[in-house]
Amino acid sequence: MTALAIRHAKKPWESFQYSYISVRSEFEPTRFVIEFVAHDERYRVVVTGRNLEKLYNQCIQHRLE
């Protein structure tokens, strides 16, 4: 996969190129944060919910669409 697609219900969908993933991310059982840095812009993607470990691992391994 080359990008992570964020699908919003009422807003335009966004895509973040995995090549811009930051060197630091955070995981908690009910939430995780991944930062993308492109030149001088920073984007924080915050995901909340339950049973997030598999989703988080796929994100940081660049395996999730």
- Whether 23 is in a domain gets the answer no
Q: State residue 65's pLDDT score.
A: 78
- Whether 48 is in a domain gets the answer yes
User: What is the span of the domain harbouring residue 47?
Assistant: 32-64
- pTM for the full predicted model: 0.80
Handedness of CA 10, 36, 4, 14 (dihedral sign): positive
Q: State residue 48's pLDDT score.
A: 96
CA separation (Å) from 61 to 19, 40, 50?
11, 24, 20
Domain total in the chain: 1
- Whether 20 is in a domain gets the answer no
- Whether 42 is in a domain gets the answer yes
User: How many CB atoms within 10 Å of residue 27?
Assistant: 15
Mean pLDDT of the chain: 91
Cβ neighbours of residue 60 under 8 Å, at least 6 residues apart?
21, 25, 34
